[in-house]
Every structure is written in C-alpha cells, then in structure tokens.
Amino acid sequence: MIRKKAKVGTDECVACGCCVKVCPRNAISIFKGIYAEVDKNLCVGCGKCAKECPASVIILEEAV
C-alpha cells in the first residue's frame, strides 16, 4: 500500500505556522522559528497542511 506523507520545502518555508493550526494530528511543529517540521510517524497524509500553506511549500510525497 502506498502511503503519502507531508513534506515541507524548508528553504522556502516562512514559518508562519498555518500548517500547525490545521493539522488534525498535531504532527507539525515550527523548528526554532525557522521552518515547519513534520513528524512522519504521526502524519497520515491528509493534505490539509498542503492546502493551507500560504507559500504552497508543502507537498504530499510517498514515504520511504
């Protein structure tokens, strides 16, 4: 089964935290005010964060 997980383009991330607010599993945190970080163990790949991200830097990717 293919499972997708959220992946943040950390270089372009503005660390606004919109993704943190919409994540239903509290899987995202802002690393030291610099970029968003996804806990791959918690992420279920729902894609809410990717949709919300004002900079559109979150993509859903097949987890390895």
Partner 1 sequence: MKTKKHWYDYLWILSLTYLILGFFNILFAWLGLLCFFIPLIISLVNGSKAYCNKYCGRGQLFSIIGGNLGLSRKKSVPKWMKSKYFRYGFLIFFFAMFFVMLWNTYLVFAQAKDLSTAVTLLWTFKLPWQWAYHGTLFSPWVAQFAFGFYSVMLTSTVLGLVTMILFKPRSWCVYCPMGTMTQLICKAKNVTKSQK
Interacting residues with partner 1 (CB under 8 A): 12, 14-18, 20-22, 24, 30, 32-34, 51-57
Cβ nearer to partner 1, comparing 47 with 63: 47
Cβ nearer to partner 1, comparing 6 with 57: 57
Check: CB of residue 13 under 8 Å from CB of residue 35: yes
In angstroms, what is the minimal distance from the CB of 61 to partner 1?
17
In angstroms, what is the minimal distance from the CB of 13 to partner 1?
9
> Residue 6 class from Cβ within 10 Å (0-12 exposed, 13-18 middle, 19+ buried)?
buried
For 52, the 3-state DSSP assignment is: helix
Q: CA 45, CA 4: separation in Å to the nearest integer? A: 5
In angstroms, what is the minimal distance from the CB of 21 to partner 1?
7
